[in-house]
């Protein structure tokens, strides 16, 4: 019999994060790619609830100018 896969555990639930704050761009930078798009749940390791909160927080931070919307290359 093949071994069972490990049970999925959300990293934000494990750290008891209730609300994802848009005013912390250093924290949000961990969840965006090199090209400034939000990473998928598969790569971030968060549950659906926190992934939705991350998406809203990143969009708000971009609107406030705390995060860059795109990466500029010369």
pLDDT greater than 80 at residue 25? yes
CA distance 13 to 50: 8
CA distance 12 to 28: 12
The mean pLDDT of 16-30, rounded to a whole number, is 92
Q: What is the pLDDT of residues 35-59, one digit of tens each?
A: 889 999 988 889 999 999 999 999 9
pLDDT for 24 equals 92
pLDDT for 5 equals 74
pTM: 0.81
Question: Could you tell me which CATH class the domain 16-64 is placed in?
Answer: few secondary structures
Residue 26 structure tokens? 């250093």
The DSSP element (H or E) to which 66 belongs, if any, is none
* Domain range list for the chain: 16-64
CA distance 18 to 1: 39
């Amino acid at each position: 019999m093949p071994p069972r896969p490990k049970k999925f555990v959300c990293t934000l639930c494990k750290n008891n994060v209730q609300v994802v704050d848009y005013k912390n761009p250093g924290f949000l930078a961990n969840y965006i790619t090199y090209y400034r798009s939000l990473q998928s749940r598969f790569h971030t390791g968060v549950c659906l609830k926190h992934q939705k909160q991350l998406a809203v927080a990143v969009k708000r931070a971009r609107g406030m100018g705390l995060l860059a919307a795109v990466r500029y290359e010369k």
